[in-house]
Amino acid sequence: MKTTNTTRGLGAFSRRSFLKAGGASALAATMMPGLMTGTAKAAYTGTLDLLAWDFQPDTIKSLVGEWTAAGNPAVNVAVIPNLGYTPALQTRLRGGDKIDLYYNFAYNSQKFINEGWATTLNGLPGVDDMIADMFESARSRHVNVAGDIISAPYFSAVHMLHYNQKYLADAGLAVPTTLKEIYDASKTLSSTTPAPYVAYWVKEFCEEYLHTYLLNEQITAFDDAGQPVFADDAKTVGVFEWWQAMYQEGLAPKSLLTDDPGKLSNEMAQGNAAFYVLHHYFLTSIRSLEGPQSANVNMAPAGPSTLQIGEVLQLGQSESEEERQAAWELMKYYGWKDSGGQFKVFNQWAKAAGLAAPYAGFFTDPEVVASFPDYYDLAMLSDTFATKSNVVPARTLPWYPDFQAKVGDIIHALLLGQATPAKTVEDLTAAAKGAQGGRTL
Amino acid sequence: MAAASDLSGLGPKADRAFGLKLVAPAMILLIALLAVPTVLTVVYSLHDVPANGASFGPFVGIENYTIIFASPVFWRSAQVTATFAIGFVVLSTVIGLAMALLLNQRFIGRGLARALLIIPWATPWLVIGILWKWFADGSVGGLNAVLMMLGLISDYQPFLSDPNTALPITVLAAVWRQASFAGILLLAGLQTLPEELHEAAGLDGANVWQRFTNITLPWLKPVLITVTVFNVIYAFLQFDVVFAMTQGGPGDTTQVLSVLIYRQLFVNTNIGLGSALAVILGVVALVGGLAIVRLFYRREVQ
C-alpha cells in the first residue's frame, strides 16, 4: 500500500496553494493508477459500522456486501430516514455511538470535525490522489481553509434549469439563462401554463436557491474568510426582487412553499409547469414518470455559474489504527473508486437515480456513460461541474448550519410579501453575522 | 389506619416502610426518566453546552434566557404557540364533548361509531401530520375536493402555503386526533351519569339545554378538568403534526415553540439555548395546566 502524505503539515500552505497543487498531482495520479487506491486488504478483523440515510438501503447493503466479499472486514449497515438525519446522527454521536463511516450533509462537515465526531483524512493512503482526482470546483467542499481534508464525496449534483422544450418552441422562446430571461419567458408562457416555474422552495431548501440565484447573477455570497459580502453587490437586491416577483405575480405556484420535489417533478411530467430548477438528477424522476410531457423535458445549459452541491462521507472516531485504516479503505471504495480503479459505487448511484460524482474521470468512464440515459447531456453536465459551478466554500464552515436554518424564514417572508428585497438583504446579513457570533435563535 | 396496623400486627412505621417498598420501583423509574432529565435540562439551560456533550461547558447563568427573551423569533413563536394552543384546547374539548354526547345516544350503528372514534387516537401524531399534509394539499388534496363539492371554494387552495390558513389547518389536524381522545374520556364519564337525573329534571319541566347545563356538565366536571389539562399540555408540546405538515412554515407562520426547540437542540445543537427554551415551554405548560385546574375548582368552591 503506497502512501502519499502531501497534506501532512499543510498548515503553512493556503488552501489556494493546496488546491493548485492538487490539480498538478491529478495529472500525476492518472499516470500512476497504483496511487489511486489501496490494493492491500485491511488488517482489521473486526466489524465496521456504516450509517446511511434511507436512499435505496438494499443497494447500500449490496454494495458494502460486495466490498466485504472481496476479503475486507464485515460492515454493519444502519439506515435511518433522510428527514431528520442530522438530528438523529448528532444525537447518536453525542450519546457515544461509535460509527466508523457515515453519510453527512456537507454543511455539517467542519462542525463535526470541530466537535470530535469526525476525523480528518490527512495522511491516509491515497487521499491526496482522491482530492486531486476531483474537479477543482469540488475540492473546497472536502478540503478546509487550513488544508485539512474533512470528507469524501457521497454524491454530487449541480442545480440546473429543466425546461419543457416543446412549450418553449411553441411560444417561439429561446432557452433562458439569466433570471430576467426566465422571468420574461415565464410571463409569456403563463398565458397557456398559469404558473410555469416550479422550484423546491420549502424552508430547508431556500438556502440552496439563495446561492443558485446569486451565482446565476455572478454574485459572491461569502468571501474567503466566510464573511457575508452579498450585500456589497448592487445586483443582490435585484435577485430578491426577481424572486419575490416570480412568487407574488403567480409565475410560480403558491403551494411551492410546502410542496415536495416529487410533486414538482410530476407537475413537469404532466405539463403543468415549464421550468423546474433543482439538482440535475431530477431529470431522471421527470422522465421516469412518463407523463404526457416527460419526454419534452430537458436540461438547459447553466448560466455563468450555478450551485454545486454534494453530500459527503465522514470518518468517525476509530478505536484502533487498524480499524481506521479499514474504515478508510471502505470510504475510498464508497466515495471514490474500487480496488480495480472503477467508480463502482458511483456508477450504481448513476444507474439508480442519475446521481453524479465530482470526479472528472467519472463523466468519461465508459461504464458510467452507459449508465446514464440518453437524455442526459453528459458533456454539458461535466462542463457545468468543471467550470460553471461553485460549492460556496463557506457552506462547510462550523457556523453555517445556524445560518442555513434561518434562511428559510427570511426568504419565505420575502416571498409572502412580508419583507422587502432590501430588508431581506439586511436580514440575511444579520443572520450570517449572528450565526458567526454564537448563540442566537 | 391504626386498626389496619393492628390487624397486620405491624406499627405505623413498619406500614410506611412497607408502602415505600411498594412504590419504590415506580419512584426509581420516575426519577430516572423524569426527574433526572428535568434537572439536567435546567442545568444545561444555565450553561453554554458544547454540541458534543463532552461537558456542561462554561456556566453562563441566565444568559440563555436573556438571549431568548430579547429575540423577536421567540416572541413570534410564543404568539404562534398561544394561538395554536387556544384553538387546539377549545376545539378538542368542544368537539370531543359533542362527539361524546352524540355517541351516548341510542342509534343504529352506535357500536361501530364508538369503535371508529378510537381510530384517530390510535394513529401516531406523525402519521396524522403526513395524512393531513396530503389531505390539505393544494393540488391533489381531498380537503379541496370536499370544499369544492360543497361550493365553499371555486378553485383549489394551497392551504399549507398560505400564511392565513396554514396554522388553522395544522390546528384542525391536531384536533382531529385529540378530540377523539377527549370524546373517549367524556363518553366514559357520561356513561356513569344515572338516567334518572335527566328523567326527574324532565318531569320538573327542564328543557334539553337546562338539563345539559345543570346536570350533564356538572356531572362531567372532573372528567372535563382532566381532559382540558391534557389538552393544554398536548397543545404546548405539539410538534409532530406541525413538523410533518409545514416544518414551521411558510416563513414562521406555524413555528411553534416545540419546533424552535427541536431546531436549537437537534439541528443547530445549541444545547444551552434549546434547553432554556424547553424549560420555558415546560413552565408555560405546567402553569397552563394548573391554571385550568384552579379555574375549575375555584368556581366549584364559589
Q: Which domains does chain B have, with CATH numbers?
A: 72-301 (1.10.3720.10)
From the number of C-beta atoms within 10 Å of its C-beta (0-12, 13-18, 19+), residue B26 rates as: exposed
CB-based contact B267 A401, cutoff 8 Å: yes
Tell me: pLDDT of A190 over 80. yes
Interface check A317 vs B, CB under 8 A: no
Helix, strand and coil in chain B, % to nearest 5: 75, 0, 25
List the pLDDT tens digit at each of the 302 positions of chain B.
Answer: 444 445 556 677 888 899 999 999 999 998 889 999 999 999 999 999 998 888 899 999 999 999 999 999 999 999 999 999 999 999 999 999 999 999 999 999 999 999 999 999 999 999 999 999 999 998 888 999 999 999 999 988 999 999 999 999 999 999 999 999 999 999 999 999 998 998 899 898 889 999 999 999 999 999 999 999 999 999 998 999 999 999 898 999 999 999 999 999 988 889 999 999 999 999 999 998 888 888 877 766 65
List, in sequence order, the alpha helices (H) in A249-292: 261-270, 282-288
Interface check A80 vs B, CB under 8 A: no
Q: If residue A305 lies in a helix (H) or strand (E), which one and from where to where?
A: none
The per-residue pLDDT for range A62-115, each reduced to its tens digit, is: 999 999 999 999 999 999 988 789 989 999 998 889 899 999 999 899 999 999
Comparing alpha-carbon positions, the chain B residue that sits nearest to A97 is B52
CB-based contact B246 A204, cutoff 8 Å: no
Comparing alpha-carbon positions, the chain A residue that sits nearest to B52 is A94
Which residues does chain A have within 8 Å of residue B67's beta carbon, measured at their own beta carbons? 439-441
Q: What is the ipTM of this complex?
A: 0.79
Interface check A441 vs B, CB under 8 A: yes
Q: If residue A438 lies in a helix (H) or strand (E), which one and from where to where?
A: none
Total CB pairs under 8 A between chain A and B: 113
Please name the residues between 237 and 256 in chain A that touch chain B, using a CB distance below 8 Å: 253-256
Task: Using CB atoms, pick whichever of A93, A117, A439 lies closest to residue B67.
Answer: A439
Do the strands A197-199 and A275-279 form a parallel or antiparallel pair, or are they unpaired?
parallel
Residue B239's CB: how many other CB atoms inside 10 A?
Answer: 16
Which residues does chain A have within 8 Å of residue B137's beta carbon, measured at their own beta carbons? 255, 263
CB-based contact B268 A409, cutoff 8 Å: no
Give the whole-number percent of chain A exceeding pLDDT 70. Answer: 90
Interface test with B, best of A258, A397, A412 (most B CBs within 10 A): A258
Task: Using CB atoms, pick whichever of B54, B162, B252 lies closest to residue A409.
Answer: B252
Distance of CA A69 to the CA centre of its chain: 30
What topology is assigned to A10-156+309-382 in CATH?
D-Maltodextrin-Binding Protein; domain 2 (3.40.190)
Comparing alpha-carbon positions, the chain B residue that sits nearest to A116 is B52
Which residues does chain B have within 8 Å of residue A409's beta carbon, measured at their own beta carbons? 73, 248-249, 251-252, 255
CB-based contact A439 B64, cutoff 8 Å: yes
**Letter for the amino acid at A48?**
L
Helix, strand and coil in chain A, % to nearest 5: 50, 15, 35
Tell me: pLDDT of A218 over 80. yes
Residues ≥6 apart with Cβ < 8 Å to A142: A131, A134, A149, A150, A151, A152, A153, A312
Interface check B247 vs A, CB under 8 A: yes
Interface test with A, best of B267, B275, B280, B281 (most A CBs within 10 A): B267
**Letter for the amino acid at A220?**
T
Hey, where are the domains in chain A? 10-156+309-382, 157-307+393-437
CB-based contact B52 A117, cutoff 8 Å: yes
CATH architecture designation of domain A157-307+393-437: 3-Layer(aba) Sandwich (3.40)
**B94, B95, B96, B102: CA torsion to nearest 10:** 110
DSSP state at residue A311: E
